[in-house]
Structure 1
């Protein structure tokens, strides 16, 4: 009788322990290279496992609340949301160019797989467009601009369609972390309002998840910089060491343009900004260039080479620029268009969008 009770107690303990961890069982098909796989959490390796002779592996870990994990298999990455009590099976053919895989036992991870399939589909289209660009450029190198402009329309349409599917998926999954995973793939410059609304919706749903908390906090920090808000004032020195305040430009439509001499997309956009400045500078429009350079000579040379004849300021602190920190700049080019009262009326207008807005407004 004691032996039976002892065996039962061991069984009960084992059953309890299963609820205090998750198990991820994996199998690789057509694998002849990968010997070891890695499990990441929050960008850091938290575990690793060698494959056995059957190309199988297993992870056991503790996750009291659902957490994001990235399984790195060779050059491939697979994403999961896992928590205690789950026993998940994963299978992938690492030679499948589509990147398809199987996951069973985790409802949220299955939803992430659904989103990954959406992402894979649109990424393939982007690669096709890039391939077409390279092929046509090789045949007609003198027509680079025409080819680039033509294919950019296709690229932008593909990106817009992808973003619509992202929003639809995120809204369908607002009550689980797969929705948050999807919304994080959007470009904040293009979908700021949608991302802020999403942050407001989920802010109390996952209070213990660090990634969600960081996202909600960041979106809250951006609210004072939304269209319709008064632009925060700042002061920096211009090329000659004179202090310039943003508020000095009140009374005019002002484009606050964050850029740098080393930023290729910025330099590519500069001819368009020059064109708009020359067209509208006598119609109550001006520009304040804010450089994220840390090399004064390079900054001044770029101003001269690109013929940027408006006011420029910089503290030569690169990403630590006071103005960049104030405006939460995480990538450049970035811009804010202010009305004569200093209210933000548009953000990140480039190319034809800037021209259309100025023509309509001024």
Structure 2
């Protein structure tokens, strides 16, 4: 009995010892920067995204700088495996799954090009196991997709210059083709790495509406395989909440109301336009496509104003000065309001990119969402005729 009791005591002690061994567990993330920040303007951050949906934001938990050999390192908490991100001078961002991999990256650092363009590089993480191999593969697919988008845009431009009808018609589908290609690659990677908790990273590249079945079946599989994977449970809840909200703003449903001030402090919202057809234009001063759509909106407004159409421009600019400057430049003649705190209205209408236009009927019901250019024209022709 004494021997048996001693054995049990030792076993219990080992269990306690092992549990304490996990507490304080870390992995190492190291990097080498090709072009260092010689002016010491920018730190290198370690952080993670916190919050859900439109309230999700990056939060730094540590920072550092490079040594004399342009190297840097972080000790990353790994008691509870999770996604983290390293930001190098705001130019390079590396997402990774902190569990057991000691990761190394080589990054460019400061952009030394005379003409700086938005074309994020592909950064390969070394020393990775399957969990971070997935992120490497997804990032490569995303990088190639971005390059294909650039090529598709260039082809459309060259086709328009050549004025070759068949080439113009073919090039119009360029963005759709490269989009379908990315979707196929991401689905392949999800099936390949479905046993990895980090497959959550790949799910972010799918559409909750179009790919709902695969997303939900993958989440259910993860929750069953990893009962303590709180990230999978939170993601499932977020998607279900999004589906419920999408039903609330389906075509034919009431447009969610909001109220934001114009330059004089007067608040406007959809309810102020009852009895009129309304275009709600979510835009910002820094958004090129938004500014490019404005001349078309002026044509639309001129054509249909006397037939009962109004426009409400909702800027999501965080800086009022930039908003006011853009308004002065664009000279729009319809009501202009500024949603400096834009996350609530973006969550209501379920959009993350702009321009985002919503067409509302006289009773305040949604007719169409996410329309512009030709699709906006078609929506209005259904209402007013040609």
TM-score for both structures, normalised by structure 2: 0.59
Task: Give a deviation string over 1:247-289, Cα, whole Å, max 9, x none.
Answer: 3544554211233566543322111122233444466644333
Out of 59, 62, 66, the residue aligned to residue 46 of structure 1 is 62
Instruction: Compute the displacement of 1:337 (Å).
Output: 1.5
Question: SS of the counterpart of 1:104?
Answer: coil
Out of 71, 78, 84, the residue aligned to residue 69 of structure 1 is 84
Structure 1 residues 94 and 130: CA distance shift in structure 2, 3 A? farther
Question: SS of the counterpart of 2:298?
Answer: helix
Out of 347, 361, 371, the residue aligned to residue 339 of structure 1 is 361
What's 1:119 paired with? 142
Distance 1:32 1:236 in 2: 46
What's 1:275 paired with? 299
Distance 2:287 2:66 in 1: 42
Q: Which runs of 5+ in 2 are unaligned?
A: 1-12, 38-42, 50-57, 109-120, 162-167, 224-228
Question: SS of the counterpart of 1:193?
Answer: coil
CA contact (8 A) 1:27 1:92 kept: yes
Task: Give a deviation string over 1:60-112, Cα, whole Å, max 9, x none.
Answer: 544333211234578644322123xx2x25455658x754444433x322211
- More displaced 10-residue stretch of structure 1: 62-71 or 290-299: 290-299
Aligned residues: 325
What's 2:374 paired with? 352
CA contact (8 A) 2:283 2:314 kept: yes
CA contact (8 A) 2:145 2:179 kept: no
Question: SS of the counterpart of 2:80?
Answer: coil
What's 1:5 paired with? none
CA contact (8 A) 2:85 2:94 kept: yes
Question: SS of the counterpart of 1:79?
Answer: strand
Distance 1:338 1:65 in 2: 47
CA contact (8 A) 2:152 2:175 kept: no
Q: Which runs of 5+ in 1 are unaligned?
A: 1-8, 137-142, 144-148
Distance 2:341 2:83 in 1: 29
Distance 1:297 1:94 in 2: 38
CA contact (8 A) 2:76 2:98 kept: no
CA contact (8 A) 2:44 2:65 kept: yes
Give the root-mean-square deviation of aligned CA atoms: 5.4
Distance 1:152 1:178 in 2: 36
Distance 2:231 2:290 in 1: 39
Structure 1 residues 326 and 62: CA distance shift in structure 2, 3 A? closer
TM-score for both structures, normalised by structure 1: 0.62
Distance 1:45 1:153 in 2: 45
What's 2:283 paired with? 259
Distance 1:50 1:133 in 2: 43
